[in-house]
Amino acid sequence: MKKISTVFFLSLVSFALFGQAKPDWLDNNIRNLKFPPDVFLTGFAQRALEKSISNEIEQAKLDAQADLTKQIRSMIKTKTQSSLSTQSVNGQYDERESFENESSVETNSEITGMKTEVYHDKSTNNIYAFAYANKYELIGYYKSNLSVNVGQIESFVKTAQDLEATGEKAKARQQIEMAKPLFSKVRYAQDLLTAIDPNVSQEELQQQKTESLYNLLTQMQARLAQGVYVFVESSEDLSGQKVDIVANKVKAELAKNGCSFVETAKQADFRLSIKTTTRKISEQGNIVFCYADVTVGLFDNHKQKNVYNDEFSQKGGSTTYERAAREAFQDAAQTVVGKIIAWIK
């Protein structure tokens, strides 16, 4: 039964391809009449049937679509180069050039609303494909797409500002990273609309708003790139010795997570206090064991409250009391980082 169904399906495909009437879009003059360039973007492709018909059909479609999108890239490139010629600031030139490159990437994907038809000419054994898209449908889509993406950027920037104000810098940076890719989509939509819609207005392109948001985001990103500022105050007693084993280890680990350290509590986003003492517990043969007893407190300067407090003991063992204590201090530092890292944002 399955074999019969497969044969029937292939028969339908064969009829659709080989039994179809010759389309009038094969004639270039008729194509231009039915799909005038002022209304449609079009792409045309022809391939000789050399491999399997399904592969050649698919490739012909892709070739026709590529021919259409090539026109869009050419139009955008012409428009972009025209705008570049009027600019003298290197930063602006580089920025526009990067948007041109991003536009080329965008148009590699299928254009929204693009339709593709295929015809197999049995007399010549050639496969033809024709892709077309209505400019006015594209204009409507990309105006809507532009507004949606600008709105999303505004939302991300607003959330980032709120997070920065409350000291949650890591989360603010995440919002910025989500907003950044949308600018290439906005620029592409603006360039496409300018290229294919001679009547598009500056208000519809939202260029001024886009530039304002871009500058705002860039400035915020520069501020947040400095990381989270932490002031560490530590009291460590290793059998009467004043050491900084835990503090130094904690700073090293926090630095890997984007934290910077300041000399005064007023400069900090967070104040971290650590108190560590040692306690000998037992000996087994030549091995000495001891505990590092640790008290940890984390104060958020922006929220003006303690966000984390804890006490714990970390065991260490070695051939001498001091070595056992140092091992316990090193392990305790790692434990401290694990406990507070989720709170430092």
Instruction: Give the chain's end-to-end CA distance (angstroms, integer).
Output: 63
Tokens 């400035």: give the residue: 219
Give the pLDDT score at 25: 94
- State the pLDDT at residue 79: 67
> Which range among 11-15, 48-52, 197-201 shows the weakest confidence by mean pLDDT?
11-15
Confidence class for position 174, pLDDT limits 50, 70, 90:
confident
Assess contact for 263 and 278: CB atoms under 8 A. no
**Pick the residue with more confidence: 227 or 323?**
323
Which run of H or E residues covers position 154?
helix 135-165
Residue-level pLDDT at 258: 78
For 236-259, what is the mean pLDDT?
91
> Three-class SS string for 308-341?
EEEEEEEEEEECCHHHHHHHHHHHHHHHHHHHHC
- State pLDDT tens for residues 88-102: 444 444 444 444 444
Query: Which helix (DSSP H) or strand (DSSP E) does residue 274 occupy?
Result: strand 270-284
Q: Which of 7-21, 147-161, 285-299 is least confident?
A: 7-21
Which structure tokens are listed for 153? Answer: 């950027």
Listed residue (56, 29, 52, 32) closest to 42, CA to CA:
32
User: What integer pLDDT is reported at residue 166 of this predicted model?
Assistant: 79
pLDDT value, residue 299: 95
More confident: 83 or 213 = 213
Q: Residue 48 in contact with residue 125, Cβ under 8 Å?
A: yes
- Torsion sign over Cα 303, 305, 310, 316: positive
Residue 228 DSSP class: E
Assess contact for 131 and 42: CB atoms under 8 A.
yes
The pLDDT value recorded for residue 110 is: 55
Instruction: Give phi and psi for 131, each to the nearest 5.
Output: -115, 140
Q: Which two tokens stand for residue 273?
A: 């206090």
Distance CA 54, CA 4 (A): 20
Q: What is the pLDDT of residues 51-96, one digit of tens each?
A: 788 889 999 999 999 999 888 888 777 766 655 454 444 444 444 4
Mean pLDDT of 285-310: 91
Whole-model pTM? Answer: 0.57
Q: What are phi and psi of 71, to 5 degrees?
A: -65, -40
Distances in Å between the Cα of 238 and the Cα atoms of 47, 269, 318, 322 are 81, 29, 15, 7
What is the rounded distance in angstroms from the CA atom of residue 213 to the CA atom of residue 206?
11
How far apart, in whole angstroms, are the C-alpha atoms of residue 177 and residue 189? 20
Residue % of the chain over a pLDDT of 90: 56
Amino acid residing at 147: S
Q: What is the pLDDT of residue 161?
A: 93
- pLDDT for the residue numbered 15: 45
